[in-house]
Amino acid sequence: MITRRQLLGGVGALAGAGALAGCSPTGAPPGADTLQFWHLLSGGDGVTMQSLLDRINESQDDYFVRPTVLEWGTPYYTKLAMAGSGGRAPEAAIMHSSRVPGYVPGGLLDPWDTGRLAELGVSRDTFTGPMWNNSLVGDQLYSVPLDAHPFMMFSNREVLRQADVLEDGGFPAVSTPQDFVDVLREITAAAPEHGLSYGFIGDGAQMWRLFYTLYAQHGAEMSFPQGGSAQIDDEAAVESLRLMSQLVDGEIASSQGTIDAGIAEFSAGSSGLLFSGVWELPPMQDAGIDVNIEMIPPVFGQHAVYADSHAFVLPHQQDPDPEKREDTYAFVAELLKNSFDWAGAGHIPAYVPITEDPQYDELQPQANYAGAADHIVYDPKSWFTGSGANFQADFGQVVQDSIRGGDGFQEAVDGLRSMVDAILAEPNPVDPEGTWNP
Amino acid sequence: MSMAPQTAHPPLPAARAGATEPAAPITAEAEASARQARKKNRLVALAFLAPFLVAFLLFVVWPMLHGFYLSFTNQSLTGAGGNFIGGGNYAEAFSDPKVWGSIRNTVWFTIISTVPLVIIAMAMALLVNTGLPGQWLWRLSFFMPFLLASTVISQIWSWLLDPEIGLANEVLQTLGFEPVAWLQTPHLDLISITIATVWWTVGFNFLLYLAALQNIPEVQYEAAAVDGASRWRQIRSITIPQLMPVTGVVFVLQILASLKLFDQAYQMLGGVSSDTSRPIVQYIFEAGFVGYEFGYAAAISYVFFALIVVVGIVQMTIVNRRKGE
């Protein structure tokens, strides 16, 4: 029997291990400004970011970047908002671009000076159009993207080869939903389990990512004007949901796959394809899968790919120290120019000179999908959308039954519209009086 | 240290003696010294209580008062707003279907978790008390889950209940049933959370029952056996009536614990909130920390507070009436 002391000893050992796992940054050189930098990158991303920061800290003596890593999701965004509202925020922080429009009206972020960035070699020309435009709120630049992490189609080349559908090392060209489903059936026949691994059940974010990709392939837009009514293209939305439900028929993909189960299935080599974010690339490579990543085929006409970006922001400071601001600009520019290794984590570096570098072509399979950066669609801009916000979860609530049941698509779209309209009628909680003007 | 004067001159009995026995001869000096001792005693007591009182004022009383004030403002977590808007938040809360839906979820969870948590705990205690061999093993294995953190049991159960690769569906399929999406199907999600909760916390009630069982005098069973009462009859007429007081305690503790449902529901669903499983505490958290509407979140928590007060009053009346009988 375990005695109480043994149990406590075990717990103590665990706690100790946790404390040791915390990073121990080296000290700042004398005379250097310390820049507080908050981010939400953990796991492999966190390690890569730390090595980029270490390199920058060692390369110069003007400033020293001290990172604070917080848990991603609600905890991070709550703390960042509170820091910004107090006016004593960190010098720089990483946010998901999709969350920026919700932060700006409350005065939680300071805009970037595009002139100053341009002097450091960071400008409109060094990002793709979708990324730059998404970083603007009104006509001000509020975020500087570090990457794009799109929702893509992973393929296991070995399974595709067995199914005899492999074309040019990837998925064959298809241009209609029916062709797509036909190829998927061929893969399903050859795959040990399902043709496609797609975890969606109980996970609104996963449903939204695929839905919005397919929706945008129609060339349709979606907008949520504050105080107005949601603009949604019903036909595109219904067709997108219909295709999703065809995919999760229990044969091509499981009708009740969770995100974890989908990743486990694909990394075990039991399926031919996986719909997931590019950040799953390193674990798949570690699992020894002959993996390729490409955009989900443009079955509804246009290339489109749902993505979000990690982006640098300037949390609002009441009295920014001009010298530290200067250093912050230098730091961000320097990190962007050295973000080649960031691609190792699967993300597409946002700074275009990185992906255009001939060296990038040797990075496989990253080089194959760098072009997706031109076809990115982000969440509709509003204060309640974005990664880690409630909107995606609520979306899942509204559509899950129709996707699983194979009917009621129009009702689901109606449900989405009335859900969004109800939120649009409420004031933005970071600006409850509506006093902010872009 | 400061306990010394108390034990050296017990002032309380002296004071009480003075009050209840006016006939006893009391000199003015004795009374003065008693008063002084009483005063000193009160100061000492206050000094002992001070650390707690400061924490209590800072972290319980002040947040309660400030929260009540916030509920009448449009304060945002981001510092915006903060203006007095009267009963606007309360009006919104009463007309918000998510408030009522999540209160319904919490109440439903309280009902479906409390009943098995009482019955199963009692049954387990009765079984163990019959003198099964390996008592320590039963006691340990029934109580062990209670020692785990909510994060741990949430992880364990979300894997067990995974629709694709979970053990629960593996068993169902082996028995020839269709697999079930336990945590992802509306209405079933809250039941799945209840199952996990019962497994997790039943051990505590089990321990209370076991202690109560061991307090029942053996002679009563012997007397009943002499009178020819069967085993079942003994349980019905001796054991269960004797367990009533502890059952009352278990019920009260359980209802209060279940109304606070948040951790395991939030964690097992990965922070995703569904209309059929979102407890009220989670909605308060979402309104305040995801939606940044502090004022509104405060108003909902006061609505919930009022409901708990009603439950408390009902409970007290029942208990008092029983005492009266």
pLDDT tens per residue across span A326-342:
999 999 999 999 999 99
Q: What is the pLDDT of residue B292?
A: 86
Q: What is the pLDDT of residue B25?
A: 60
Q: What is the pLDDT of residue A85?
A: 81
A420: CB partners within 8 A, 6+ apart: A224, A230, A232
Q: What is the CA radius of gyration of chain A?
A: 23
Q: Is the pLDDT of residue B170 over 90?
A: yes
Peptide bond before residue A365 is cis, with ω within 30 degrees of 0: yes
For helices B150-160 and B167-174, angle between their N-to-C axes, nearest 10 degrees: 30
DSSP structure class, residue A112: B
Cβ atoms of residues A271 and A257 within 8 Å: no
Residue found under tokens 């439900």: A245
B266: CB partners within 8 A, 6+ apart: B282, B285
Q: Write out chain B residues lying below 8 Å of A206, CB-based.
A: none
Cβ atoms of residues A65 and A57 within 8 Å: yes
A430 contacts chain B (CB < 8 A): yes
Alpha carbon distance A414, A317 (integer Å): 42
Fold entry, domain B95-324: MetI-like fold (1.10.3720)
Write down the domain spans for chain B: 4-49, 95-324
Q: What is the pLDDT of residue B24?
A: 54
Give whichever of A108-112, A208-212, B245-249 has the largest mean pLDDT: A208-212
Q: Is the pLDDT of residue A16 over 60?
A: no
Q: What is the pLDDT of residue A175?
A: 93
Locate all alpha helices (DSSP H) within A272-348, ordered by sequence.
281-286, 322-337
Cβ atoms of residues B75 and B294 within 8 Å: yes
The dihedral over CA atoms of A301, A307, A311, A317, expressed in degrees to the nearest 10, equals 100
Q: Which of A340, A381, A345, A383 is nearest to A362 (CA)?
A: A340
DSSP structure class, residue A37: E
**What is the widest separation between alpha-carbon atoms in chain A?**
69
Residue found under tokens 């933005």: A428
The dihedrals phi and psi of A294, each to the nearest 5 degrees, come to: -145, 175
Alpha carbon distance B151, B262 (integer Å): 11
Q: Is the pLDDT of residue A9 over 60?
A: no
Q: Is the pLDDT of residue B2 over 50?
A: no
DSSP structure class, residue A391: H
| Mean pLDDT, rounded, of chain B | 87
Mean pLDDT across B65-82: 89
Question: Is A261 within 8 Å of B80 when comparing Cβ atoms?
Answer: no
The dihedral over CA atoms of A340, A342, A346, A348, expressed in degrees to the nearest 10, equals -60
Q: Which residue of A has its CA nearest to B148?
A: A11
Q: Write out chain A residues lying below 8 Å of B74, CB-based.
A: 427, 432-433
A202 contacts chain B (CB < 8 A): yes
B80 contacts chain A (CB < 8 A): yes
Go through the domains of chain A in sequence order and give each one's CATH number.
29-146+309-363 (3.40.190.10), 151-306+382-424 (3.40.190.10)
Alpha carbon distance A337, A237 (integer Å): 39
Distance from CA of B28 to the nearest CA of A (A): 57
Alpha carbon distance A60, A33 (integer Å): 11
CA distances (Å), A167 to each of A155, A163, A172, A284, B66, in order? 12, 11, 5, 21, 65
Residues of A numbered 64-123 whose beta carbons fall under 8 angstroms of chain B's beta carbons: which are they?
73-74, 78, 81-82, 84-86, 106-108
Least CB-CB distance to A202: which of B74, B184, B289?
A: B184
Alpha carbon distance B279, B104 (integer Å): 8
Least confident of A50-59, A242-251, B26-35, B292-301: B26-35
pLDDT band at B325 (very low <50, low <70, confident <90, very high): low
Mean pLDDT across B162-182: 91
Q: Is the pLDDT of residue A438 over 70?
A: no
Amino acid at position A174, single letter: V
Alpha carbon distance B145, B152 (integer Å): 10
| CB-CB neighbours of A52 under 10 Å | 18
Cβ atoms of residues A277 and A372 within 8 Å: no
Alpha carbon distance A38, B161 (integer Å): 35
- The pTM of this model reads 0.82
Question: Is A202 within 8 Å of B292 when comparing Cβ atoms?
Answer: no
Q: What is the pLDDT of residue A144?
A: 97
CA distances (Å), B152 to each of A32, A77, A395, B149, B262, in order? 43, 25, 29, 5, 14
β-sheet bridge partners, residue A65: A35
Q: What is the pLDDT of residue A26?
A: 56
Distance from CA of A415 to the nearest CA of B (A): 14
Q: Is the pLDDT of residue B99 over 70?
A: yes
Q: What is the pLDDT of residue A437?
A: 67
